[in-house]
Every structure is written in C-alpha cells, then in structure tokens.
C-alpha cells in the first residue's frame, strides 16, 4: 500500500509543471566556463504595418556573448534547429541550454535534437523567470535599446539592425562582471574547458561541458 502511494507521488511529480519531470526543471547549476550553459528565449514584436516579428536570442551565460539574435515573421522548431546547427558548427555544442518550458522549447523535434547531441536541458520553474536571469536581462536590454527605439519596415530591416546591435553589444560594450572587458574580449581570453590551465576568475559558475560537433567541422 505504501509503495503504491510512493509510485503515485512519483507520477504526480513527473506530471507537475506541464509534463516536465522535476529532474529536468532548472537546478542550481551555473556556468563555469565558456559554452557550458547557453540561455535562449523568444521576444515578440511587430513591424510598422502591424505584422508579427518573432525574435530568438541565445546568450552564453559565462562570457555574456550574444551568440544569436534572429528574427522572422514566425519561427518553428525547424527554424530554431537551423540556428543551433550553425552555432554548433562554428563553436561546438554547449553542455546545457537553459529556457522556460514554453511550447517552442518543449517541441519534440528540438528535444530530440538536443538529446541526440547530449546537450542537457535546464528548464525554469513555471512562474520563476529569475531562474533564467541572463536571458531575461538580455531580452530587457534588446527591447529597451532596439525594439522600443526602432520601427521596423519589414523583416529585412529588422535583421540588419539586429546584426548591427549584436556586433556593438559583443565588441564595443565592456561589462563590469567581465573585468570591464567586452564579451568578445573576455571570450577570446577564456581557457578551453578541460585544458588543465587556470581559468579566468570572474563570475565562476556551473559543471561539465559536453561536445556535439568540434568547432570548424
């Protein structure tokens, strides 16, 4: 009888938070090195004529780099996977990706692709956006400095302005948390994980790095 109640409790835990098992929900795991934890999220906006714009941002939690700032009228699982494939081809895979448990990030195709690449998923507890603090703070900056400032005539203009903003953010803006270096400067100075050399001391956070595709392949 007791074992039956225990099994029922376990099933209830697995069904909590919209079907995400508790062990998948975001644990207190923070980035220790470059490409250990990426964070991603969507931002919704509109063009001048009223049509929708959907932005996908991906940031490296350790280096604070904006790895991607993509915009389209709409984005599905296949579009997101294409962005990931390009990033991984040039940079290697992250150990983990942190996100909320919205339908885009829970899509079967995305979860299968990440599982195939041994990329861990860190899902934020429902109603706890602070657990995805880097993505939330970054999106606030994108909205304040780009979306609320510019009026986009179309997707092409949005893409061009996004690329320019991302370049400025990564290469021209020092961060106090990075020793007053830009994200690009800090990332270039980072010691590769597992090299045995001393890592840079600023904001040490997380765990192991897993690899899907070696950079440059």
Euclidean distance between CA atoms 178 and 190, whole angstroms: 11
Residue 173: what pLDDT?
A: 95
Write the CB contacts of 166 (distance below 8 Å, at least 6 apart in sequence). 66, 69
**69 three-state secondary structure:** strand
Residue 42: what pLDDT?
A: 92
In DSSP terms, 33 is beta-bridged to none
Residue 162: what pLDDT?
A: 97
Q: Of 89, 84, 134, whose CA–CA distance to 107 is shortest?
A: 84
Residue 99: what pLDDT?
A: 86
Nearest-5° angle of CA 109, CA 111, CA 116? 95
Q: What is the CA radius of gyration of the chain?
A: 19
Euclidean distance between CA atoms 104 and 86, whole angstroms: 19
Looking at the chain, the number of H-run helices and the number of E-run strands are 7, 5
Q: What is the pLDDT along the chain (217 residues), one digit of tens a residue?
A: 444 444 443 443 333 344 444 335 545 468 999 999 999 999 999 999 889 999 999 999 999 999 999 999 999 889 999 999 999 999 999 999 998 887 888 889 999 999 999 999 988 877 666 666 777 889 899 999 999 999 999 999 999 999 999 999 999 999 999 999 999 999 999 976 654 333 333 333 333 333 333 334 3
User: Pairing mode, if any, of strands 120-123 and 96-99?
Assistant: parallel
């Amino acid at each position: 009888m007791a074992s039956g109640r225990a099994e029922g409790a376990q099933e209830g835990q697995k069904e909590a938070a919209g079907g995400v098992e508790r062990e998948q929900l975001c644990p207190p795991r923070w980035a220790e090195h470059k490409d250990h934890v990426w964070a991603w999220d969507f931002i919704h906006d509109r063009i001048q004529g009223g049509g929708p714009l959907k932005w996908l941002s991906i940031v490296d939690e350790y280096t604070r780099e904006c790895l991607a700032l993509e915009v389209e009228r709409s984005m599905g699982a296949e579009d997101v996977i294409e962005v990931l494939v390009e990033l991984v081809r040039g940079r290697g895979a992250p150990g983990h990706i942190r996100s909320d448990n919205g339908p885009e990030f829970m899509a079967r195709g995305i979860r299968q692709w990440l599982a195939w690449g041994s990329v861990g998923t860190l899902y934020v507890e429902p109603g706890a956006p602070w657990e995805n603090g880097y993505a939330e703070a970054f999106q606030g900056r994108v909205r304040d400095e780009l979306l609320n400032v510019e009026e986009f005539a179309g997707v092409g203009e949005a893409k061009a302005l996004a690329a320019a903003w991302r370049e400025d953010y990564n290469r021209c803006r020092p961060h106090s948390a990075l020793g007053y270096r830009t994200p690009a400067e800090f990332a270039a100075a980072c010691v590769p994980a597992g090299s045995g050399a001393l890592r840079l001391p600023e904001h040490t956070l997380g765990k192991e790095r897993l690899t899907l595709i070696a950079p440059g392949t």
